[in-house]
């Protein structure tokens, strides 16, 4: 990975984790730390996020990475009211 000319805020550091995709295969998902924080918060609230990832992957458009798709889905989910109040 090319080093960015400006330092990134820690919440924007890209972090990779292995998650199951719609085919049952572990796939590397790279998202910014703030997305993983929200993902982990949803897990703490009792959401089955592995199942959510699999279902989200079934509606992913061709040519979009699972990482980008999940960031969009998490952003959309949070904007619809599942926030950390």
pTM of the model: 0.80
21: which residues sit within 8 A by CB, 6+ positions away? 27, 53, 54, 57, 66
Determine contact, residues 70/29, Cβ cutoff 8 Å. Answer: yes
pLDDT at 1 exceeding the cut of 60? no
43: which residues sit within 8 A by CB, 6+ positions away? 49
Superfamily (CATH H level) for 10-79: protein bp1543 (1.10.3990.20)
Place 85 in a pLDDT band, splitting at 50, 70 and 90.
very low
Domain positions in the chain are: 10-79
Rounded to 10 degrees, the C-alpha dihedral 10/14/20/23 comes to 150
Residue 13 pLDDT: 79
């Amino acid at each position: 990975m090319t080093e960015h000319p400006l330092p990134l805020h820690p919440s924007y550091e890209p972090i990779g984790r292995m998650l199951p995709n719609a085919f049952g295969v572990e796939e590397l998902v790279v998202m910014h730390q703030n997305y993983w924080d929200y993902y982990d918060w949803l897990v703490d609230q009792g959401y089955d996020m592995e199942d959510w990832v699999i279902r989200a992957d079934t509606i992913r458009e061709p040519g979009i990475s699972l990482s980008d798709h999940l960031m969009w889905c998490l952003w959309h989910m949070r904007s619809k009211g599942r926030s950390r109040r």
